[in-house]
Amino acid sequence: MKGKAIVTVLGKDRVGIVAGVSRVLAENNVNIEDISQTIMQDFFTMMMLVTVDEDEISIADLQKKLNALAEELDLKITVQHEDIFRYMHRI
Amino acid sequence: MWFNAEEIKETVEMIQEQRLDIRTITMGISLRDCIDPDGNKLARNIYRKITDSAGKLVDVAGSLQKKYGIPIVNKRVSVSPIAAIAEAGKLSDYVPIAKSLDRAAIDIGVDFIGGFTALVQKGMTPGDAKLIGSIPQALSETERLCSSVNVASSKAGINMDAVLKMAEVVKETAERTAGQDGIGCAKLVVFANIPEDNPFMAGAYHGFGEPDKVINVGISGPGVVRAMLEKYPDADLLRLAELIKETAFKITRMGELIGRESAALLGVKPGVVDLSLAPTPTPGDSVAQIIEAMGIERCGAPGTTAALAMLNDAVKKGGAMATSSTGGLSGAFIPVSEDLGMVEAVEAGALSIEKLEAMTAVCSVGLDMIVIPGDTSVETIAGIIADQMAIAVVNHKAAGVRLIPSPGKVEGERATFGDLLGFAPVMPVSKFSCANFVRRGGRIPAPLTSLNN
């Protein structure tokens, strides 16, 4: 079953953040549909809309794999099913 | 992208920085099919029904927490009032049933189980009397059990015999749990107009008008409201009301999402979303600090009741737009020990029991988690309960009283309960007696609902 999720990446800017996150997503067959990324005062903020094939990896397991990368690059990475944003921001 | 970056950032910040969480998923379970005259069999039936019905509750909550990245702090169970369920049995007291409920809660991993309850607003049956008599021992010999007794309603008035009896029960429960500053009383609430679908403890029970099983969700989020208000120090009150409504809407939508999905996963009916702002002892997660963010120097200062009235109303208006199934207590909670801002206001001398009583007239709970001196008389406790019941009965609202006469403690000391229950300073009570009033017994009649000026 395919579901959409939002990946949020926050932390100090450095080389390889986009590459690192994209690599973990690609390895788990997670497709990136949209990316928004800005840097404000050295602070890196990225949001990705992704499609997760939940037969292949659950959002919880994807979060675990991204946590490992987050630790390595000193970032905060969160994966959340898109419905939480839909419920909060759309009537 | 479906959502703009601001929206995503707002949601993530609410959860990660402002401590937005789902306070509780509470499964209500009817025990009507467990009734048996044999006490042992009754206890076994109850244990089996609860573990069969809610065995997956903790796992489901865990999976939703991971899927949506929002903490689900408590998992709870509420059951039919035990006073009614056990009445046909031949048990001399209901402590064995209390232990069976507690064991079921521990075995399925839920944080609390509520429903050691009697509804006695107009009078007591033998089962009600047995349950009430069992409360002190039951609460001192269990870990996760919560008890509630409804002694008043707007239709029946106030059962003053029950009020006095409950004051004795509160006192005895405190004494039996003296080693933990009277913590048993933190799990005991005396109610007026008790809701049948409240997911919050200690007053959660599964009403007789409810389905066999149901999922009720309690939301939280005082920190989110406070953070929003702090961004607008110069906004006028009409604008503040609007901001609170918008925030309450967003918070409640989280409850709606989690309630619907958890009910579907557990194969039971979705019940209500309780639109409450429930504080915790964590810094920032405070209703008192919302009032202070509105411009009151310390919670309890003049203006506090007006600010709380506006907050409570705006939370309901925003929340009611976000879900069609509102219920429970729905409003702002003002417990003392569970809210660091309230504790600080008491210690600063800004907040008294009398001011808290006035505040309960405009919000959703009553005198909640208030520590009073251990030597407070039964009659004074009864008088405080009766005052709160009167406010609720006349205003057609629910209210509960959780007083903790902490054994051996005097004004100026603190009682500590730990975790979500927090700690609180001992608050002074009036030195003047109401004994001749509360010892009269009988019932205060239901109030007139017309000629309402």
Tens place of pLDDT per residue across chain B (453 aa): 578 888 998 999 999 888 899 999 999 999 999 999 999 999 999 999 999 999 999 999 999 999 999 999 999 999 999 999 999 988 999 999 999 999 999 999 999 999 999 999 999 999 999 999 999 999 999 999 999 999 999 999 999 999 999 999 999 999 999 999 999 999 999 999 999 999 999 999 999 999 999 999 999 889 999 999 999 999 999 999 999 999 999 999 999 999 999 999 999 999 999 988 999 888 889 999 999 999 999 999 999 999 999 999 999 999 999 998 988 888 899 999 999 999 999 999 999 999 999 999 999 889 999 999 999 999 999 999 999 999 999 999 999 999 999 999 999 999 999 877 899 999 999 999 999 999 999 999 999 988 876
| Facing residue for A84 by CB, picked from B2, B16, B257 | B257
Confirm or reject contact between B1 and chain A (CB < 8 A): yes
pLDDT for position B420: 78
Interface touch A89/B250, C-beta < 8 Å = yes
Burial class (CB in 10 A: 0-12, 13-18, 19+), B383: buried
Distance CA B133, CA B125 (A): 12
Residues 133-172 on B with a CB inside 8 Å of A are none
DSSP string, A42-66: TEEEEEEEEEEETTT--HHHHHHHH
pLDDT for position B5: 85
> What are the residues whose beta carbons fall under 8 Å from the beta carbon of B341, sequence distance 6 or more?
B279, B286, B287, B288, B289, B291, B292, B299
Find the distance separating the first CA and the last CA of chain B, reported in whole Å: 55
Interface touch B5/A89, C-beta < 8 Å = no
Distance CA B126, CA B128 (A): 5
Confirm or reject contact between A49 and chain B (CB < 8 A): yes
CATH superfamily placement of domain A2-89: ACT domain (3.30.70.260)
Q: Burial code of B13-31, b = ≥16 C-beta within 10 A, e = fewer?
A: ebbeebbbbbbbbbbbbbb
Is residue B67 classed as helix, strand or coil in its secondary structure?
helix
Residue B92 tokens read as 């001399």
Q: What is the Cα gyration radius of chain B?
A: 21
Confirm or reject contact between A80 and chain B (CB < 8 A): yes
Which residue type occupies B92?
S
Do residues B339 and B371 make contact, with C-beta atoms less than 8 angstroms apart?
Answer: no
pLDDT for position B450: 82
Do residues B135 and B428 make contact, with C-beta atoms less than 8 angstroms apart?
Answer: no
Q: What is the third-level CATH fold of B28-55+69-192?
A: Anaerobic Ribonucleotide-triphosphate Reductase Large Chain (3.20.70)
Distance CA B183, CA B173 (A): 8
> What are the residues whose beta carbons fall under 8 Å from the beta carbon of B361, sequence distance 6 or more?
B305, B391, B395
pLDDT over 90 (residue A4) = yes
Alpha-carbon dihedral angle through residues B347, B352, B356, B358, given to the nearest 10 degrees:
-150
Confirm or reject contact between B237 and chain A (CB < 8 A): no
Examine residue B202 and say whether the peptide bond preceding it is cis (omega within 30 degrees of 0).
yes
Distance CA B2, CA A5 (A): 11
| Facing residue for B8 by CB, picked from A8, A60, A83 | A8
DSSP code of residue B277: B
Q: How many degrees, rounded to 5, is the angle at CA B53 between CA B49 and CA B56? A: 140
Chain A, nearest residue to B14 by Cα: A88
Distance CA B312, CA B362 (A): 7
For range A33-49, the mean pLDDT: 89
Residue B295 tokens read as 């411009």
pLDDT for position B283: 86
Which stretches within B121-221 are classed as H helix?
Answer: 126-140, 160-176
Q: What ipTM was predicted for this assembly? A: 0.88
Q: How many CB atoms lie within 10 A of CB B179?
A: 9
Burial class (CB in 10 A: 0-12, 13-18, 19+), B385: buried
Q: How many CB atoms lie within 10 A of CB B433?
A: 12
Distance CA B328, CA B308 (A): 19
Percentage of residues of chain A with pLDDT beyond 90: 81
Interface touch B1/A36, C-beta < 8 Å = yes
Among the listed residues B118, B93, B110, the one whose alpha carbon sits nearest the alpha carbon of residue B43: B93
Do residues B205 and B194 make contact, with C-beta atoms less than 8 angstroms apart?
Answer: yes
Interface touch B67/A49, C-beta < 8 Å = no
Interface touch A78/B69, C-beta < 8 Å = yes
Question: In this structure, are strands A43-53 and A31-40 parallel, antiparallel, or unpaired?
Answer: antiparallel
CB contacts, 8 Å: B324 with chain A: none
Interface touch B2/A49, C-beta < 8 Å = yes
Domain-wise residue ranges, chain B = 28-55+69-192
Q: Report, in this order, helix, strand and coil percent for chain B, each rounded to 5.
A: 45, 15, 35
> What are the residues whose beta carbons fall under 8 Å from the beta carbon of B86, sequence distance 6 or more?
B39, B42, B94, B97, B127, B130, B131
Do residues B356 and B299 make contact, with C-beta atoms less than 8 angstroms apart?
Answer: no
Tell me the three-class secondary structure of B287-334, residue by residue: HHHHHHHCCCCCCCCCCHHHHHHHHHHHHHHHHHHHCCCECCCCCECC
Distance CA B204, CA B300 (A): 28
